[in-house]
Chains A and B, each alone.
Chain A
Amino acid sequence: MLKLNVLELEKSEYTGGKSSLCPGCGHDQISNNIIQAAWENGIPPEKVAKMSGIGCSSKTPAYFLGKSHGFNTVHGRMPSVTTGANLVNKGLSFLAVSGDGDTASIGIGQFVHAIRRNLDMVYIVENNGVYGLTKGQYSATVEKGSKKKKGVANQQAPIDLCAMAINLGCSFVARSFSGSKKQLTALIRAAMSHRGMAFIDVISPCVTFANNDESYKSYNYVKANDEVLHILDYISHFSPIEEVEVPEGEYQEVSLFDGSTLRLETLAADHDYTDAVSALSAIHQSEKAERHVTGLLYYDDNVPTATDTLGLSETPLVELSEDLLRPSPDSLEKVNSGFRS
C-alpha cells in the first residue's frame, strides 16, 4: 500500500522532473526536503506557485512539485515577480528558491524589500558560497578565510543573510543544512504554515566547486561545525499526535498561523527566538567561532503582510468580475462633469 497524505495524495504527486544538477549537489537534497514537506503538510499542489531566480539553485523548481505552476524568472529579481503575483492573487502559496549569488549580490535589493513588506512567501536560499552555474566564483556569503577548490581563500567579510533578515524585521528566520534532513523538513513545513515572509538560509555544498575541507560550506566542514540550536518537531494541525515524548519544561512550542506547532527541544538554553538581539548574538558568536548556527533563529507572528497593509478587496483581485474592475458609465459621466464645473 502506498502512503497517502491528508489530501489522499501519494508523494509522487509532489515530485518533479529529473534533475540535471551535478550528482551529490546539496540543492537536490533540498528539493527532496521540499517534496517531503509539501506532501506531509498536505498542500494542494495547484495552489502553490514555485518561484526562482537564476542559478543552479533556481533551476530546481523544475525538479519538484510538477503539478504546480512556477516561474523561473531573471537573476536576482524573483522577489518582485512574486510580489506582483501575490498582490493580484493572495490565494496562492508562494514557495521560492534562490541562490546566494541570486539573493546576496544581484538581488539583494529585492530581497531586502520583500522582507520589509513581509511578503507572504517561503524564501529558501540554497547557499553554497559560490556561483555554481557560472563555474565557481565566490559569492558574497562566503566566509573570510574560506577557500574553494581552486584559487585563493576569500578575504572579504561575508553577508549573513539571516542576520540581515532579522535586522529588517523578517517574521520567520531560520538556518539549516541540506544534509540535516529532519531539521530541514521541519523548518520547511513550519515555513509553509507561516503567514508572511519565512526565510530559510540552507547551507548547500557545491560538490563541484567548493566541497573541499577548506571550504566552510563543504559537507564535511558543516557536519563538524553545525551548532544546532534545538531539535525540531513539526506537529501538524490535522494530526496533532505527539510523535516524540519529551519531558515537560524542556521544550518550547511555536504556534503557527495554520494551527500547526513547531516544537523546539531546547539544546541551547539561552537562545530566545522571540528576541532579535538573542538571535543576532547566536549568529555572531558562531561566526566568530567559525561555526554555523542552525535552527529557528527568529520568529514574530505579529507583522502585517504586504497585502494586509494595502486595503485590498477580500477577494483575490484576479477573481473579480468585470463590473468590479471597470467602473460604470455613470461614474465616467460624473468624472467628466466634475472637470467641467
Chain B
Amino acid sequence: MVMHKTQSHRRYLASSRFVRVLGTKRAMEKIVNDFVINVATANGTGSQSSNLIILHSMFEMGVPVSGKNLFPSNISGLPTWFIIRASDRGYQAPGDGTNIQILMNKDTWIKDLEGLEPGTIVIYNEDVKMPVERDDCVLLGMPMTKMARKINPKLGRLIANMYYVGAVAHLLGVEEDAIEKAVKAQFKGKEKAVELNIQAISEGREYANENWDFDCQFIVESRDKDPDTFLIEGNEAIALGSIYGGISMLSWYPITPSSSLAESVINWLPELRSDGDGGSTCAVIQAEDELAAAGMVLGAGWAGGRGMTCTSGPGISLMSEFIGLFYFSEVPGVIWDVNRVGPSTGLPTRTQQGDLSMLYEASHGDTQHIVLIPGTVDECFEFGWRVFDFAERFQTMVFGFNDLDLGMNRWKTSGFTYPDSPMDRGKVVRSQEEMDSIPEYGRYRDVDGDGIAYRTLPGSGLDPILYRGTGHDEDGVYSEDPQVYHDAMARLKRKIDGAREHLPAPVIREEEKKDLGVIFYGSMENSIVEIDDMLEESGLSVSTCRVRALPLHSGVEDFVRRHDRTIVLEINRDGQLFGIIRKEFPAELIPKIHSVSYSDGMPPRARVYSDMILEVLEGL
C-alpha cells in the first residue's frame, strides 16, 4: 500500500495554527484546538472517569483529541497522570510540554509544579493544602473537595475530580451539551451518578467563571464531527475482531495490559456468539498460568478449533516451550502479546515495543513465527479476525503484537469493517474422498510445493498419527535420521517464508524526493505524523513505511532500496526490528539503514525521536 503523502496529510500543515478571535474582553491571540492538558491524580480516586469525560466531550465537539493514561502498578494511592492532547493537525503523541496542568495529588504536587514551563496554566485543588509557589505560572485554585462534600459527603473524594472537569470546560469553552453526552456515556444507565456528576461539573464551571479573572488563550472550537466516529481501546477492538474471526476457545491468565482484551471477549460473547439455544459457541477458560494457557490453545488447534490466548511479555516467556511445539508439530493457534515494559516485571503499566525479537524467534532451536502488528484500532479489529486465517492456512502459531499504548488507550475509528473474505480453514482433509485425491498423503508431506502439508483432525478416523515434538518423518513417524530432520526444518523455513507476501503489506507514505525513509511499526503510528513534520521543518523530505507483519514483506526491502537513507524507528533500547532487518536484508543495503530506538516507558513523544533521528543523520 503506497500512498502519496502530499495528498494525505499536508493539509494539516496548511491549516493555520493561530486564529484571531475578536470580541473578547481583551483581544488576544487565541490558540484553537492545540494544547496539552496533564491531570495529576492518585490511582483509585475515580479520576479516570473525569479524564475520560474531558476527552469524550471534546471528541463530541469534533475536536481531534487523544488521551494517554499513565497509571501505576497499584490499585489505590500511587500517582497517575492523564495526558489529553487536542490537535487539529491530528497529532496524538503526548506533546512536548504541558499547557494546562491540573494538580490533585499531593504526593507529586511539588515535582509536577517544578517541571512546568513558565506561563503554564495550573488548576489546583485548594483543599489539598499544598504550596503553589510558581509566580511565573497562571495559578487557579478551587476548593474542590469542600464543594464536593457539600453535594455528597460520602462520595466527596470521588466527585472532587468532576470540579476540574468544570474548570477545564470553562477555560476552554467546552460545550455543555458535549459534557452532558460524555457524562451519560461514562455512567451509562446510572441516573443518580449522571445527575450528581453533572451538578459537580456545573458548579466547577460556575466557580471558575465567578472567581477566576483570567482569559484563557487556549480554546476548543467545534469541528464537523463525522457522526460515524467513536473512540475505543485497541484491546477491545482485537477482542471484537477475534469474535468475528470465529474464536472457539479463549484461555487466559490475567496480566496487565492484556487482561482487558480477554475481559472484552468475555463481555461480548453472550451478545455475539450464542448458538440460539442459549449455548455459547466459544469456550472461555481462566488457566492456572500461561504455560497452561498456551497448552490449551495448542490442544484446541490440534482438535480443529480456533484457540487463542492473550498475555504480555512475562507470559510469552512461560509459553516459549509450547511455542516451539506449535511450530514443529505444525498446529494452528493465536497468541496476542500486549507489550509492557520488561525485562522481568519491569514497568508493568508502561508501554514498550520490547518483545518483538522474542516473538519472532520464540522458543529453542531454529524457529520463526508470523507476527501481525496492528498500528490502529481498525487494524486491531481486522488482524483480530485475520490472524486465525493465517494460523490455519500456515498451520502454525501466529502472534498478534500490540502494546499498552494502543491496547489500553482510546483511539478513533469510523466503525469496524466486516470481514471481506470467508474463514480460511486451511488444508484440512475432512473426508475419505478428499484423502483419496491426495497423492501419497503424509501428515508432513509437501504435496503442493508450498511447504504446507495436509492435516486430519482427531475424531475423523482419517490417517491418525501421534503428534509429537520429537523428530518425525513425512508420515509423522518418529525419526532421528539426519536427512529427515534437515529436510523437515528446511520445509518449515520455506513454509513461513512463503507467508511473507500474503501477510499485511507495509503502509507506505512516500515523498517524490527520496531523502530519508523511516521504517516503524505498531503504536508509533500515533506519533509518526508529528515526527515527520518536525523532521521536514529541518528541510528533509521524509517518507515513512509502517511494517505490519513479520516475516517482512518484500515491500519493506523495496522501500529501503528507493531511499538514500533509512531509519528504523522503535520503542525499545536495542533496535529489535533493526536487528531482524540487518540479519535478513542483503548486505549491500545494510550500510544505509540506521537504528533509532528509545524507550523510557512513556508513549513516544515526537520531539524525542525526531531529535534522535537528526542526531543520527548528522553523524553520518
Q: Are A313 and B280 in contact (CB under 8 A)?
A: yes
Q: Which residue of chain B has its CB nearest to the CB of A51? A: B299
User: In this assembly, does A314 line the interface, its C-beta being within 8 Å of a C-beta of chain B?
Assistant: yes
Q: Are B292 and A74 in contact (CB under 8 A)?
A: no
Measured CB to CB, the closest approach of chain B to A112, in angstroms, equals: 8
Measured CB to CB, the closest approach of chain A to B568, in angstroms, equals: 35
User: In this assembly, does B228 line the interface, its C-beta being within 8 Å of a C-beta of chain A?
Assistant: yes
Interface size on B, residues (CB 8 A): 72
Q: Which of B232, B295, B469 gathers most chain A CB within 10 Å?
A: B295
Stretch from A4-12, A184-192, A199-207, A315-323 contacting the other chain: A315-323
Interface string of B230-270 (1 = CB under 8 A from A): 10100000001001111011010000000000000000100
Size band of the interface chain A makes with B: 35 or more
A residues with CB within 8 A of B = 45-47, 49-50, 61-62, 66-74, 77, 79-89, 91-92, 109-110, 112-113, 306-307, 310-315, 317-318, 320, 322, 324-327, 329, 331-332, 335-336, 339-340
Interface string of B290-307 (1 = CB under 8 A from A): 011111111111111111
Return 6 A-B CB contacts under 8 Å, by A number: A84-B296, A84-B300, A87-B300, A91-B459, A310-B283, A332-B244
Interface string of B12-50 (1 = CB under 8 A from A): 000000000000000000000000000000000000000
Q: Are A49 and B459 in contact (CB under 8 A)?
A: yes
Query: Chain A residues near B537 (CB, 8 Å)?
Result: none
Q: Which residue of chain A has its CB nearest to the CB of B385? A: A326
Measured CB to CB, the closest approach of chain B to A43, in angstroms, equals: 13
Stretch from B153-161, B189-197, B413-421, B607-615 contacting the other chain: B413-421
Q: Which residue of chain A has its CB nearest to the CB of B462? A: A46
Once A72-B466, A92-B459, A318-B248 are accepted as A-B contacts, the answer to whether A113 and B302 lie under 8 Å apart by CB is no
Q: Are A311 and B278 in contact (CB under 8 A)?
A: yes
Query: Chain A residues near B385 (CB, 8 Å)?
Result: 326
Q: Are A335 and B281 in contact (CB under 8 A)?
A: no
Q: Are B292 and A314 in contact (CB under 8 A)?
A: no
Q: Which of A46, A87, A318, A336 gathers most chain B CB within 10 Å?
A: A87
Query: Chain A residues near B306 (CB, 8 Å)?
Result: 325
CB-CB nearest 7 A-B residue pairs:
A84-B299, A80-B295, A88-B305, A46-B461, A325-B246, A84-B296, A313-B279
Q: Are A320 and B469 in contact (CB under 8 A)?
A: no
Q: Which of A70, A310, A313, A335 gathers most chain B CB within 10 Å?
A: A313
Q: Are A320 and B295 in contact (CB under 8 A)?
A: no
Q: Are A84 and B305 in contact (CB under 8 A)?
A: yes
A334 to B385, CA, bound (A): 18
Measured CB to CB, the closest approach of chain B to A312, in angstroms, equals: 6
Query: Chain B residues near A320 (CB, 8 Å)?
Result: 248, 275, 281
A231 to B385, CA, bound (A): 56
Identify whether the interface residues of A are mostly helix, strand, loop, or mixed: helix
Query: Chain A residues near B419 (CB, 8 Å)?
Result: 326
Query: Chain B residues near A72 (CB, 8 Å)?
Result: 466-470
Contact of A84 among B249, B272, B460 (CB under 8 A): B249
Measured CB to CB, the closest approach of chain A to B94, in angstroms, equals: 25
User: In this assembly, does B579 line the interface, its C-beta being within 8 Å of a C-beta of chain A?
Assistant: no
A73 to B470, CA, bound (A): 9
B residues 453-502 touching A (CB-CB < 8 Å):
456-461, 464-470, 478
Measured CB to CB, the closest approach of chain B to A113, in angstroms, equals: 4
User: In this assembly, does B282 line the interface, its C-beta being within 8 Å of a C-beta of chain A?
Assistant: yes
Contact of A71 among B248, B467, B470 (CB under 8 A): B467
Query: Chain B residues near A84 (CB, 8 Å)?
Result: 249, 251, 295-303, 305, 307
User: In this assembly, does B447 line the interface, its C-beta being within 8 Å of a C-beta of chain A?
Assistant: no
Query: Chain B residues near A67 (CB, 8 Å)?
Result: 461, 464
Q: Are A326 and B244 in contact (CB under 8 A)?
A: yes
